[in-house]
Structure formats: C-alpha cells, structure tokens
Amino acid sequence: MSISPSKIVCVGRNYVKHAAELGNAVPAEPLIFLKPPSALIRPGDAILLPPGVGRVDFEGEIGVVVGRRARHVPESDAWDHVGALVALNDVTARDLQKKDGQWTRAKGFDTFCPVGEPRSLSEVDRAGLAVTTRVNGQIRQHAPASDMVFAIPFLLAHISRIMTLEPGDLIATGTPDGVGPLVAGDEVEISVEGVGAVRNTVREARP
C-alpha cells in the first residue's frame, strides 16, 4: 500500500508515564501537532541525524490511516473512518523541541517519520493492540493501546472537529514511556502487535 497523506497529525503526551518521564503533565484535552509528509520514509530507509541538533529520540507509536473522509465525526462512528493501522516512529530532535517551544522543526526533519506497511483495520484485533520499540534488538518501549489517555476514536473525533481528515491522512497516537536517543549505526524497530513493524538504521546526514 502506498502512503501519501495530505497531513500527519500527531498527538503529544498521550501516555501518563511518558508525560511524566519528560516532566510534563497529561493535558486535559489532546495536544496535537503536525509533521510534514516530506518526513515520511519506509522500512529499510535510513533515519538521518541532522548536523548540530543535539539529541534525536525514537518514539514508537500506533499510526492510524484514515480510510474515509472525516469531518465532525462523533466518537461512536470514528472507527468507520479508519482504514488501516500502521507502525510509526515519531522521530524527535529533543533539544530543539525544548528550545523552540513550537515543535515544527524538532519533529519535521526529512526522514523523521518512518512508517511500516499498513494493515487493514478489518484484519486487526483492536482489543490486543500494543506498541513495542526495539533498539539494536533490545526492548526500550512497550505499552498496550489501553494505556492511552485519549483512545483512538476520541482522537479521531477530536481532530475531525478541527480539520477535515482525508483518506490516507495519518494520525500518530502518541508514544509510551521509555523514549531515548538514537546514534549513528543504531537499528530501531517499532512494532505494533497484529499490525506490522518498521525497521530503520540511523546515520549522520551529510551536510
């Protein structure tokens, strides 16, 4: 399946323990931001560390691929607008995120959004959803989707009241605790149980 979203809508601080590990409170309503589609890469592509940006982190997430246009969708109908789920890595330049306040630069570098092969929602066991991150084969993050502060239907309904979601748009649903830095030579894999995985190596970008 090709992936060509008009936008990538991401949710921040959607797991209690992850918010806490970075010293943040859980927001009262979903905290959202955008990544540009130009950040997308696929399995096997390299994550490029931009020169001079400091710490760059992995964030393993469950990605939602919109299947049907969604505008002002009630939470009870939200799953009808989901086409597929996908493993996603919300790669983040952590020092720039703190420095800028606005997250566009920290989240928006080319290669900062690896995604795997989407799996059709009809083939997914929604009850058993969980995300796992491995770096060089070692488990660094693991959490069930049930740990989300705001669940997928709530997120889709909320976002659809702000912006129309088009088929193919991606929603990154937030990362659990355990985030950490990547260095050149690392291999990072995000897997979503019953959905699939995205594995990428990390290297320095050439200036």
Residue 141 within binding range of Mg ion, rule CB under 5 A: no
Can residue 90 be called a binding residue for Mg ion (CB under 5 A)?
yes
SS (H, E, C) 180-198: EECCCCCEEEEEECCCEEE
90 vs 193 by CB, closer to Mg ion = 90
Cα–Cα nearest to 159, from 145, 170, 148: 170
Residues sharing a CB contact under 8 Å with residue 52, sequence separation 6 or more, in sequence order: none
Stretch that binds Mg ion, among 29-37, 55-63, 111-119, 160-168 (CB under 5 A): 55-63
> Which region among 28-36, 173-181, 186-194, 198-206 touches Mg ion (by CB under 5 A)?
173-181
What is the distance between the alpha carbons of residues 142 and 158, in angstroms, rounded to a whole number?
25
Task: List the structure tokens of 72.
Answer: 């002002």
- The pair phi, psi for residue 186, each rounded to 5°, is -65, 155
Identity of the residue, 34 or 163, whose beta carbon is nearer to Mg ion in the bound complex: 34
Rounded distance, CA 87 to CA 149, Å?
Answer: 19
Q: According to the binding rule CB under 5 A, does residue 175 interact with Mg ion? A: yes
Contact 89, 200 (CB under 8 A): yes
Q: Does 111 bind Mg ion (CB under 5 A)?
A: no
59 binds Mg ion per the rule CB under 5 A: yes
Report in angstroms how near the CB of residue 26 gets to Mg ion at its nearest.
Answer: 14
Residue number of the CB closest to Mg ion reads: 90
Q: Which C-beta is closer to Mg ion: that of 50 or that of 77?
A: 50
Name the site residues for Mg ion (rule: CB under 5 A).
Answer: 59, 90, 175
